[in-house]
Chain A
Amino acid sequence: MDIDVQKVAMLARIRLTDDEATELGPQLSEILGYVDQLAAVNTDGIVPTAHPHDAAMPLRANIVTNGNHRDALQAVAPKTEAGLYVVPKVIE
C-alpha cells in the first residue's frame, strides 16, 4: 500500500524531514500490509468491542471539588503571561 506519509504526519502535527518520510513510508506500508490480513476475516454481524467489559459509565455528582491551583498547574507550562498560556498567533 502507498501511504501519503506527509499528509498523515500533518494530521498528527509531526514534522517529518524528507529522509524520515522516506524511511517511514515503507515501514508503515509493511505494518499496514501485515494488518491487512484482517480484511480476509469474515466479521459479518460481529459487534465491535470498544471496551473490554460490558459495563455502564459511572457518573459524577454536580459538586465543585476543585479550587484555584493555577500557579502550580502553570509551573510546568512552556510560556505564560498574567495567568494566560501564550502561543504563536492563532490565525482564524
Chain B
Amino acid sequence: MPFSSLSHIQERLNNAETTAVEVAQLYLNRIAAYNDTLNAFVHIDSAHVLAQAEASDKYRAEHGARALEGLPIAIKDIFCTQHGPTQCCSNILKDFHAPYDAHVITKLKEAGAVLVGKTNMDEFAMGSSNETSAFGLCRNPWNTDCIPGGSSGGSAVAVAAALTPAALGTDTGGSIRQPASLTGITGLKPTYGRVSRRGIIAFASSLDQAGPMTRTVKDAAMITAAIAGHDSGDATSVADAPGPQSQADWLAVCDQKDMKGMRIGVPKEYFVEGMDADVRVQVEAALKQCEALGAELVDISLPNTNLAVAAYYVIAPSEASANLSRYDAVRFGHRCDNPEDLLDMYTRSRDEGFGSEVKRRILTGAFALSSGYYDAYYLKAQQVRTMIQQDFLTAFESVDIIATPTSPITAFKLGEKTDDPLTMYLSDIYTIAVNLAGLPGLSQPCGFAHDLPVGLQWIAPAWREDVLLGAASAYEATSHWYNKTPQAFDQPSGGET
C-alpha cells in the first residue's frame, strides 16, 4: 500500500476497502518513522491531517467523492496555506503564517484532497540539491549520502520514499523535473500560464510554474486536472487555454498504449560531453523502447541550447532580485533586533534572513539590471530567450514531441558542489530551456545508473500536455522503473492496512 499510486488508493477508497483516515494515518506513521532521516517534511500537523481526512470521509458519505477525495498530497513550502506556517525554507519567513491560501491550494481543497504538510526545498526555490534550505538538508532515499535534487527536493523525497503518494512542486528552471529524475518519480511542469501562480511565493515570475510530483503518469494527470485553469487573480494565467479541460479529458490521454505514428525529436545538443555515460545508456535504451512502441526517432537540433543556462542566470536572478525586495522587515517577515536606523533595519534583517545562495542570486540580478549593464545582460538574455523559443518552434514543425535526458548526471553526493555555484547551476542544463520557452515538460524514471535513478524528459509544444502525458503513459506501460522502491524505506511501517 505505501508505494501505491494515487489512482490505486482512489480505487480502494471508492470500493470502500479503506478510508481517508486510514490512508492518512498510514502515511503519518511513515513520516514519523522516516522523516528524521530524510527531512522531507519541514512541517507536519498530524491532527490537522487527520481532521481533513475525517471531513473527507464524511463528505464522501454524504455527497459522494470529488476528483481527489481523501487523497493525501504533500505541499512544497513555497505554497501559501492558511493553515500552518509558510516559510519557503528561509529564515526571513521563519514562522510566517500566510493569511490566505494559494489558488492551487484552494483548488486541491475543493477537489477533496488531504494536504499532508509542507515539504523541504531550496530556500526560495534557489538551488538544485535542496542544500540551500534554511531548515536542513534533505536526503535521497536511494542513497542517503546523496542529494535529492532541487529545488522541490522535499516533495520528491516524500513521494519516492512513500511518505505521501503525491506532492506539489514548482519548477522555475527544472525544480520539479530534476529532483523527480534524481529520486525516480514522475514530475510534470505544465505550460506556463496553465496553472495560477497566485499565492505561490515568487522566485522568477516569467518562469515559475507549479505542477505535480507523483509515482505514475496518470497520477500527474489527475493532479494537473485539479489545479489547472484560468484564475482571474493572476494576469499571466491564460484564459481559454487549449488542451484537455475536464478531469476525464486529462485521464483519457493516459490510456495511450503505443507510439504509432509519433515522431520523437532527439536533439543532438542534449547528448554531448559532460553527460554521464551510464545515464546516456539508460536514456538511449528508453528511446529504443519507444521505437519498439511504434515511434519514429528523428535527429533534430536545438542550436541555442548551450546559451540557455547563461540566459537563465540573468533572467531568473533579475526577476528574483525584485521579487525578494518585499522582504524588508516592515509588514511581515524577520526583523533584526534593535535596528539603529532604517538602513540598518533593511540591511541587517536581509543579511540575517537570507542564506548565501539567495544573496548570490539577488546580487547577480541587481547587478545585471543596474545602470550601464542592462543592455549587455538583461536585454541580451531576453533576446536569447526568443532564439531558444524559436528553436523549439522550428523543431516542432517536424516532430510531435522531444525526448532528452532530464539531468546529465545522477544524484551527486551531499556537499559535493556547494562550494562551486557555477557547476551547480550547470546541473540544470537540460531542464532550463523548457522554462525559458514556457513549454510543458515531464520527467519519468527510465532506469538506474550507479544504483541511482535516471530520468527521461519529454518536451511538448505549448498547451500539448496531452501529447506529453500520452507518450509518457505509453512508455510507462511497458517499463517497470516507476515501480521500483528504495529498499531502506520499503517496509510498511506502523499502521497496517
Also in contact, A14 and B351, with CB within 8 A (given A48-B386, A49-B385): yes
Write the chain B residue with the least CB distance to A52: B438
Is B192 within 8 A of A43, CB to CB?
no
B342 interfacial contact with A, CB 8 Å = yes
Is B313 within 8 A of A53, CB to CB?
no
The listed residue (B340, B348, B368, B462) touching A53 by CB distance below 8 A is B462
Is B332 within 8 A of A12, CB to CB?
no
B47 interfacial contact with A, CB 8 Å = no
Interface of B (DSSP majority class): helix
A68 interfacial contact with B, CB 8 Å = no
B384 interfacial contact with A, CB 8 Å = yes
Also in contact, A78 and B335, with CB within 8 A (given A28-B367, A31-B313, A90-B342): yes
Against A, the Cβ 8 Å flags (1 = close, 0 = not) of B373-384 are 000110111111
A40 CB, nearest partner CB in chain B, Å? 10
The listed residue (A14, A15, A53) touching B363 by CB distance below 8 A is A14
The listed residue (A11, A14, A77) touching B354 by CB distance below 8 A is A14
Which residue, of A5, A60, A77, has the highest number of chain B Cβ atoms within 10 A? A77
Write the chain B residue with the least CB distance to A61: B232
Also in contact, A27 and B332, with CB within 8 A (given A8-B370, A13-B350, A55-B238): no
The listed residue (B96, B238, B341, B384) touching A41 by CB distance below 8 A is B384
Is B331 within 8 A of A85, CB to CB?
yes
Is B347 within 8 A of A14, CB to CB?
yes
Write the chain A residue with the least CB distance to B238: A55
B362 interfacial contact with A, CB 8 Å = yes
A82 interfacial contact with B, CB 8 Å = no
Against B, the Cβ 8 Å flags (1 = close, 0 = not) of A44-60 are 00111111110101101
Is B236 within 8 A of A77, CB to CB?
no
Also in contact, A14 and B380, with CB within 8 A (given A3-B367, A77-B331): no
B366 interfacial contact with A, CB 8 Å = yes
Also in contact, A38 and B314, with CB within 8 A (given A24-B360, A31-B422, A52-B192): yes
- B345 partner residues in chain A, CB cutoff 8 A: 87-88
Is B386 within 8 A of A88, CB to CB?
no
Is B381 within 8 A of A38, CB to CB?
yes
The listed residue (A13, A27, A74) touching B347 by CB distance below 8 A is A13
Write the chain B residue with the least CB distance to A69: B99
A45 CB, nearest partner CB in chain B, Å? 9
- B339 partner residues in chain A, CB cutoff 8 A: 88
- A49 partner residues in chain B, CB cutoff 8 A: 382-383, 385-386, 389
Is A73 within 8 A of B383, CB to CB?
no
Write the chain A residue with the least CB distance to B463: A53
Write the chain A residue with the least CB distance to B319: A50
A40 to B356: give the CA distance in the assembly, Å. 30
- A53 partner residues in chain B, CB cutoff 8 A: 192-193, 238, 438, 462
Also in contact, A38 and B384, with CB within 8 A (given A24-B363, A58-B235, A78-B335): yes
A75 to B351: give the CA distance in the assembly, Å. 23
A35 to B331: give the CA distance in the assembly, Å. 35
A72 to B98: give the CA distance in the assembly, Å. 10
Give the contacts of A61-87 with B (CB-CB under 8 A). 69, 72-79, 85, 87
The listed residue (A16, A50, A55) touching B206 by CB distance below 8 A is A50
Write the chain A residue with the least CB distance to B386: A49
- A31 partner residues in chain B, CB cutoff 8 A: 313, 360, 364, 421-422, 425
The listed residue (A43, A55, A77, A85) touching B380 by CB distance below 8 A is A43
- B387 partner residues in chain A, CB cutoff 8 A: 41, 43, 46
A83 CB, nearest partner CB in chain B, Å? 13
Write the chain A residue with the least CB distance to B341: A88
The listed residue (A16, A32, A41, A77) touching B367 by CB distance below 8 A is A32
Which residue, of A28, A58, A89, has the highest number of chain B Cβ atoms within 10 A? A58
